[in-house]
Each structure stands twice: as structure tokens, then as C-alpha cells.
Amino acid sequence: MQTVGVIGGSGLYEMAGLERVERQMLSTPFGHPSDELVVGELGGVRMAFLPRHGRGHRLLPSEVNYRANLFALKAVGCDWVIAVGAVGSLRQEISPGHLVVPDQFVDRTYRRPSTFFGNGIVAHVAFADPVCPALTRVLIAAAQSIGVVVHPRGTYLCMEGPQFSTRAESHLYRQWGCDVIGMTNLQEAKLAREAEMCFATLALATDYDCWHESEADVVIGDILRILNQNVATAQHVIAAAVGSLPTQRSCSCARALEHAIITDPERVPSALKLDLRPIIGKYVA
């Protein structure tokens, strides 16, 4: 049975419809995940749900232990990871309430560990195409099947936060060709790739970022209303998507580490081999 990991963002702290639920607090070599993993079944598919900021929204984007989160999802057997996140729109055509399934990222973070490697083992995974083509196709088709407006590609600028961008930055990111702006999904994409899990982002446009003239008129009540609406939409899309995942993974995500580990296996410290076994065990015994 396949396992799908879902990382919930702002507003998404529980997965509706999850059955046979079991809560697990995992300990990883990188510390504890943001919260207990909620493992259950959705439409006959095994699912592990994790609220990125913890229940009650306690963690800043910079404080989230991305390594522990992704390690925990790998450890419970996830092959697929869907990351849900609220974003600001950098494009007129991406209206608040729309979904975007990004195919690219630009990194503007600077204070977060973003790799499982180091301390005696070096690996360089390919990241030119940072999301899984198979999983993105499934998400897009699922959104279309339930009549949601979905933009099937886009560049996600990941900023450090917690403050939103300045107007100068917002204009700059638009010139760079970015489409949405958020604070969390890039580390998850990198770590999922290192752990050979198929990853895609479901980005929920909550507002226009501050480049937009209408932004000054936006009141927090509008943003929260759209956020809640988006969260309900995301749950429907995920429920529709999990049933149509391929039974076998034929994408390259599943073999991302095959030629990526550079360190001589003989030289990898044995404690590290043990710690990273769920990730590298296939290649470094």
C-alpha cells in the first residue's frame, strides 16, 4: 500500500475525512517534527498528515524543523508528499482563491538547514526540475475534475519572512518571473528530493502581494475568508488526487540519490549510516 504525506500550511491543521487515525510523535536524528504525525486512511489510501507550523500555529517559517518533518514522513513510508501552502500572488491572472501547482522555485531564504547530508557524507541531487511531474499531473487533474481554477505551472519565490516583502522586493520578484510568493515550500522540495519522495506543492493564493494596487484596500477579514475557503478546496483536491496516483513510480524522483552520493561509502561514519538509513540505506550499507 502506498503512503501519501500531506504537509498542511496556514489554516490546514487537520485533514478532513481521515479514518482509522493513529497519532505518532516521532523522534528523528534531526529532532522532533512540528507535531504528531496523524496517520490514517483517506479513500482507501494510507496518509500521513503533518501540520507544518504545529497545531495552534506555533512555529515561524524559519523555526519549522523541515529536516525532522521530511525525515518523519520518509520513516513512516511516504513515497508521495503534497505540501499545501498559502501564497501571495505576483500575477494579475492569479486571483485570490486560485490554486497554483508550481513547477519552479527561487530561493530567498538564508537561515534554514536544507539538507540531510553533511558531517561526513556529501551528496548533490539534481534539482533542475524541483517537483515531481507525475504528482503535479495528478494534482492538476484532480483540481480540474472538481471545477477549481488551477494554474498548472508557476515559479514560487520562497522568502525567509516572517515579515512580508517590501514593495520594492515584490516588484523585483515579478521582474524575475516569479508568480507566487511564500515562506516554506522550498526546503520541503529539497529534502523530499534527497529522500527520493515525489513532491508537489499545492499553493493557495490568498491575496495579491504588495505590488498590486488593490493590496492597500485588503482587510484581514477578506484574507481569512479566502484562506478558509482555500483550505476547504485543498482538502477536496487532495481527496480527489490520492485515488489516482500511479501504483508504480516511474519518475526519476525515486532514484534521485542513485548517483548523487559522492563520499566513499567506506569513509561514511557508521553512526551516520545508521541515522540516515531510511534515506541512504539503499545505497550505503
Shortest CA distance to 92 belongs to which of 168, 145, 169, 151?
Answer: 151
- Of the pair 173, 199, the CB lying nearest Zn ion is at 199
The contacts of residue 243 (CB under 8 Å, 6+ apart) are 43, 44, 45
- Of the pair 132, 227, the CB lying nearest Zn ion is at 132
Cα–Cα dist 181/208, whole Å: 10
Amino acid at 151: H
Cell 486512511 -> residue: 41
Q: How far is the CB of 193 from Zn ion (least distance, A)?
A: 9
Cell numbers placing 120: 561526513
Q: How far is the CB of 132 from Zn ion (least distance, A)?
A: 3
Q: Which stretch binds Zn ion (CB under 5 A): 21-29, 52-60, 125-133, 204-212?
A: 125-133
- Of the pair 119, 244, the CB lying nearest Zn ion is at 244
Number of residues that bind Zn ion (CB under 5 A): 4
Cell 527520493 -> residue: 196
**143 sits near Zn ion (criterion: CB under 5 A):** no
CB atoms closer than 10 angstroms to residue 31: 11
Q: Which of 72, 253, 256, 276 binds Zn ion (CB under 5 A)?
A: 253
Pairing verdict, β 99-100 and 19-24: unpaired
Q: How far is the CB of 174 from Zn ion (least distance, A)?
A: 30
Cα–Cα dist 54/204, whole Å: 19
Residues 155-214 that bind Zn ion (CB under 5 A): 198
Question: x-or-dash pattern for Zn ion, window 80-109, by CB under 5 A?
Answer: ------------------------------
Q: Which of 59, 62, 251, 263 binds Zn ion (CB under 5 A)?
A: 251
Contact positions vs Zn ion (CB under 5 A): 132, 198, 251, 253
- Active site residues per annotation: 207, 209
